[in-house]
Amino acid sequence: MTVDVRRATPDDLSGVLDVFLGCWRESYRGILADSAIASMTDERADALWRRVLSATDGVVLVGERDGRIVGITRYAVTVDEGAVHSLYVAPDVHGSGIGRRLLDAATDALRTAGVNEVALWVFAANAPSIGFYESRGWAADGATRTQAEFGEPEQRMRKEWV
Q: What is the CATH number of the domain that holds 88?
A: 3.40.630.30
Q: Are 120 and 83 in contact (CB under 8 A)?
A: yes
Domain membership flag for residue 87: yes
- Could you write out the DSSP letters of every residue in 81-115? SEEEEEEEE-GGGTTSSHHHHHHHHHHHHHHHTT-
Fill in the amino acid letter for 122: V
Number of domains in the chain: 1
Asked whether residue 126 is assigned to any structural domain, the reply reads: no
Predicted confidence (pLDDT) per residue in 72-101, tens digit: 999 998 777 899 999 999 999 998 999 999
For residue 58, being part of any structural domain is answered with: yes
Residue 147 lies in a domain: no
d(CA 44, CA 49): 9
**Residues pairing with 104 in the sheet:** none
Q: Each residue's pLDDT tens digit in the chain (162 positions)?
A: 688 999 999 999 999 999 999 999 998 999 888 988 999 999 999 999 999 999 998 999 999 999 999 999 999 987 778 999 999 999 999 989 999 999 999 999 999 998 989 999 999 999 999 999 999 999 999 999 998 888 889 999 999 986
Show the domain range for 112.
4-116
Cβ within 8 Å of residue 53, ≥6 positions away: 8, 9, 10, 12, 13, 16, 60
Residue 129 in domain = no
Query: Residue 124: what pLDDT?
Result: 95
Q: What is the pLDDT of residue 132?
A: 96
